[in-house]
Chains A and B, each alone.
Chain A
């Protein structure tokens, strides 16, 4: 469903993403782990078409993001790490607008909105202006806008930022449900608990390079030793930093 080949992104003198290769299947819940500045958000922005790769290619649902961006975007829902939303609109207006941008008719939008606002507990404030929303409310709204047009692929950058435990639980459940129904979910996070709880597979990235790829179990039991994901993650990143960018693990 998602195919990334030899992907690189160069900013002036910084190589943010370095020859990344990933293949993610339909219905898979995939976590992309890495410390701050590892290249996670840059990769995601290239996947959703907000940035152009310096090298390599990305296919989303069979569509080349550079050559067929509109088709790729049509099947993709995206939640950014910081949800900047139109401050002067209300949540309801924003969702109406987003639905119409995806050519949905008003009746379908309203039907979808009913379910989403109930599930995400937005009913009380969805008619108020976004300028008065808390970070968590904005994040919930961003999720609703990503779910609204029922995309085949969900790309989520730091999904739990600003969410209270109750909403975080709901979002996790929704992501699992969607994954089970065939939606491919790609999460970028440095919250290892989230990755551990949700993911079918995990990739670890640092300084733009892929350091490891596999299931949670495969990460926890390497060379017969039992490590939790946090210990394993820290070790991989530290070793990579010591060896100045050489690949440490090829897990599959």
Chain B
């Protein structure tokens, strides 16, 4: 017993040590990368500074968007589906108190993983802005904390509204309606806010870059907290203190107002909406999706067909999955619309800026792929849940299950990200061979990240957890995100070298060596996690 406990403790300590090392590595690496990249851009003159600011706005806008999304998804189970809530509801405890506890739980659950991405951004940008220790403290206490809080308040209110509306309409109808409204608002916003020039016309051939940056500036909408946070960092030279105090006060007052509103809403609507959700558990509907099981998928044998049909139907019937996938798709669409509306003439730009935007675009696509794999591929094995015994009992090895999941994910995600890469490179006016080079790198990135997420998802499987978002934000999920981002960083850096050598007629041998390095790295990222994952799933007992 003593030996067993010691072994468990040793294992836990090792896990904590490894994960801490990886997380700190990511934060430090991200910080160094952002600082050196930022310094490089700043050396390019005024335009580099503007580009850097736009990246910072964009970074926090993405984080705000992800926070609301993750709050919404985890909120479903935290506020409404958790067995603990059902138990608490039977106790003589005020519903508002239950809501408050769950609110804090949801805030922590949905924020901590995303914050790991925000820390290097914050530290790096702060270093470039020359923030002092007290300014960092101010930014953290009066900026980042209320920022997280406001995202949770917004998502919780939206969630209660959605659940309330689902009493009158199907949840799917509510989501589609909201999607249409959001799309309409965004479209109108982009239509009226297009700035043809960010910079004055005398910058000559920078006009196209100006348009590109102006389009990115749509993320700096002044009524969202990501804008306030960005401003809290920046501040003009002469009004630095006043601006920082203004945005701090804005954050704190908004957070306090949010707390009042959410308490008011919880008192009136939480129990009511909880009952609505409870009632929905009894609804069952026959749908046309059943036909998927009878569909004659060409080239697939019966067991593989069954596994693929099951994965597809389950995905389409889990709102936490398809809604988030849809919203991520919507986010990508906004990015592509931005590019298409920019009417860029890429050939007007210098080679340096062409390459910079091309690399940024590749990095963005890689980041999207990393987010998609960590969010959707990582929980695939865990989502089998306690029904895993059905597959374990089937007359084939678990390798078949694993292989099916890999190709299922690869088919969907590779197609999606390749489309994004090809369309965006088309809008950016890239030459065919350059666009195809990015596509080739993306193929390797897809193989690596899907294998990594699937493999580690099996190693760190949580079969008792039904919420895919919670599965993704667990210990293994964070390691997956960190390792994915490290791969993307290597991939981007390698692409920079290859493009640079190609454009400057550099050594073909060197290009071959760099590509070879990426292929070897891809091999390791693909083979090792799949091997570990397969071993884990094949020997799983419960």
Our verdict on whether A and B bind, yes or no, reads: yes
Q: Which residue of B lies closest to A155 (CB)?
A: B393
Q: Does B395 contact A (CB under 8 A)?
A: yes
Inter-subunit contact A97/B293 (CB<8 Å): yes
Inter-subunit contact A127/B395 (CB<8 Å): no
Inter-subunit contact A129/B284 (CB<8 Å): yes
CB B145 to nearest CB in A, in angstroms, measures 37
B window 374-432: CB within 8 A of A: 385-387, 389-397
A51–B289 alpha-carbon span in the complex (Å)? 34
Inter-subunit contact B305/A84 (CB<8 Å): no
- Cβ–Cβ < 8 Å partners of B4 in chain A: 12-13
A100–B296 alpha-carbon span in the complex (Å)? 12
Once A88-B318, A132-B282, A132-B283 are accepted as A-B contacts, the answer to whether A101 and B394 lie under 8 Å apart by CB is yes
Inter-subunit contact B290/A127 (CB<8 Å): yes
- Cβ–Cβ < 8 Å partners of A167 in chain B: none
Which one of A21-29, A102-110, A197-205, A211-219 is at the B interface?
A102-110
Q: Which of A71, A80, A86, A99 contacts B395 (CB 8 A)?
A: A71
Inter-subunit contact B1/A88 (CB<8 Å): no
Inter-subunit contact B281/A49 (CB<8 Å): no
Inter-subunit contact B393/A52 (CB<8 Å): no
A128–B302 alpha-carbon span in the complex (Å)? 23
Inter-subunit contact A84/B386 (CB<8 Å): yes
Q: Which of B305, B310, B396 contacts A86 (CB 8 A)?
A: B310
A96–B308 alpha-carbon span in the complex (Å)? 13
Q: Which of A49, A90, A96, A103 contacts B286 (CB 8 A)?
A: A90
A187–B416 alpha-carbon span in the complex (Å)? 50
- Cβ–Cβ < 8 Å partners of B302 in chain A: 100-101, 103-105
- Cβ–Cβ < 8 Å partners of B306 in chain A: 96-101
Inter-subunit contact B390/A98 (CB<8 Å): yes
Inter-subunit contact B301/A88 (CB<8 Å): no
A window 99-131: CB within 8 A of B: 99-106, 125, 127-129, 131
A50–B463 alpha-carbon span in the complex (Å)? 15
- Cβ–Cβ < 8 Å partners of B391 in chain A: 101
A51–B538 alpha-carbon span in the complex (Å)? 10
A128–B289 alpha-carbon span in the complex (Å)? 12
Q: Which residue of B lies closest to A133 (CB)?
A: B284
Q: Does B317 contact A (CB under 8 A)?
A: yes
Q: Which residue of A lies closest to B310 (CB)?
A: A97
CB B247 to nearest CB in A, in angstroms, measures 45
Q: Which residue of A lies closest to B394 (CB)?
A: A101
Inter-subunit contact A86/B314 (CB<8 Å): yes
B window 305-321: CB within 8 A of A: 305-307, 309-310, 313-314, 317-318
CB B22 to nearest CB in A, in angstroms, measures 29
CB B298 to nearest CB in A, in angstroms, measures 15
Inter-subunit contact B392/A49 (CB<8 Å): yes
- Cβ–Cβ < 8 Å partners of A12 in chain B: 4
Inter-subunit contact B1/A13 (CB<8 Å): yes
A window 57-92: CB within 8 A of B: 69-71, 73-74, 76, 78, 80, 82, 84-86, 88-90, 92
Q: Does A185 contact B (CB under 8 A)?
A: no
Inter-subunit contact A106/B395 (CB<8 Å): no
A125–B282 alpha-carbon span in the complex (Å)? 13
Q: Does B539 contact A (CB under 8 A)?
A: yes
A74–B396 alpha-carbon span in the complex (Å)? 9
Inter-subunit contact B389/A84 (CB<8 Å): yes
Q: Which residue of B lies closest to A77 (CB)?
A: B393
State the majority secondary structure of interface residues on B: helix
CB B484 to nearest CB in A, in angstroms, measures 27
Q: Does A183 contact B (CB under 8 A)?
A: no
CB A148 to nearest CB in B, in angstroms, measures 12
Inter-subunit contact B301/A103 (CB<8 Å): yes
Inter-subunit contact A70/B395 (CB<8 Å): yes
Q: Which residue of B lies closest to A145 (CB)?
A: B390
Inter-subunit contact A88/B396 (CB<8 Å): no
Inter-subunit contact A100/B303 (CB<8 Å): yes
A89–B310 alpha-carbon span in the complex (Å)? 8
Q: How many A-B residue pairs have CB under 8 A?
A: 110
Inter-subunit contact B290/A92 (CB<8 Å): yes
CB A225 to nearest CB in B, in angstroms, measures 42
A90–B294 alpha-carbon span in the complex (Å)? 14
Q: Which of B286, B303, B313, B541 contacts A88 (CB 8 A)?
A: B313
- Cβ–Cβ < 8 Å partners of B390 in chain A: 85-86, 98, 101, 145
- Cβ–Cβ < 8 Å partners of A106 in chain B: 294
Inter-subunit contact B539/A52 (CB<8 Å): yes
Q: Does B285 contact A (CB under 8 A)?
A: yes
Q: Which residue of B lies closest to A42 (CB)?
A: B541
- Cβ–Cβ < 8 Å partners of A70 in chain B: 395-397
CB B303 to nearest CB in A, in angstroms, measures 5
A85–B286 alpha-carbon span in the complex (Å)? 17
Q: Which residue of A lies closest to B318 (CB)?
A: A88
- Cβ–Cβ < 8 Å partners of A89 in chain B: 310, 313-314, 317
A48–B391 alpha-carbon span in the complex (Å)? 12
Once A88-B317, A89-B314 are accepted as A-B contacts, the answer to whether A97 and B392 lie under 8 Å apart by CB is no
A103–B286 alpha-carbon span in the complex (Å)? 25
A145–B389 alpha-carbon span in the complex (Å)? 12
CB A22 to nearest CB in B, in angstroms, measures 20
Q: Which of B1, B294, B392, B541 contacts A96 (CB 8 A)?
A: B294
CB A156 to nearest CB in B, in angstroms, measures 13
A78–B394 alpha-carbon span in the complex (Å)? 10
Q: Does A239 contact B (CB under 8 A)?
A: no
Q: Does A93 contact B (CB under 8 A)?
A: yes
- Cβ–Cβ < 8 Å partners of B309 in chain A: 93, 97, 100
Q: Which of A69, A84, A129 contacts B385 (CB 8 A)?
A: A84
Q: Which residue of B lies closest to A97 (CB)?
A: B306
- Cβ–Cβ < 8 Å partners of A74 in chain B: 395
- Cβ–Cβ < 8 Å partners of A98 in chain B: 306, 390, 394
Q: Which residue of A lies closest to B388 (CB)?
A: A84
- Cβ–Cβ < 8 Å partners of A85 in chain B: 387, 390
CB A172 to nearest CB in B, in angstroms, measures 23
Q: Which residue of A lies closest to B4 (CB)?
A: A12
Once A70-B395, A78-B393, A100-B305 are accepted as A-B contacts, the answer to whether A93 and B290 lie under 8 Å apart by CB is yes
Q: Which of B282, B286, B387 contacts A127 (CB 8 A)?
A: B286
A92–B542 alpha-carbon span in the complex (Å)? 27
A84–B397 alpha-carbon span in the complex (Å)? 21
Q: Which residue of B lies closest to A142 (CB)?
A: B390
A82–B542 alpha-carbon span in the complex (Å)? 13
- Cβ–Cβ < 8 Å partners of A78 in chain B: 389, 393
Inter-subunit contact B541/A52 (CB<8 Å): yes
Mark A residues whose CB is within 8 Å of B: 12-13, 45, 48-52, 69-71, 73-74, 76, 78, 80, 82, 84-86, 88-90, 92-93, 96-106, 125, 127-129, 131-132, 145
Q: Please name 5 pairs of A and B residues whose Cβ atoms are closer than 8 Å in the assembled complex, sorted by A.
A: A50-B542, A51-B541, A98-B394, A100-B303, A100-B309
Listed from nearest, the 7 A-B pairs whose CB atoms lie closest are A100-B306, A84-B386, A132-B284, A128-B284, A74-B395, A88-B317, A101-B394
Told that A50-B393, A73-B394 touch, could you supply 16 new A-B pairs with CB distance under 8 A?
Answer: A50-B392, A50-B542, A71-B395, A84-B385, A90-B286, A92-B290, A93-B290, A96-B290, A98-B390, A99-B306, A102-B303, A103-B303, A125-B284, A128-B286, A132-B282, A132-B284
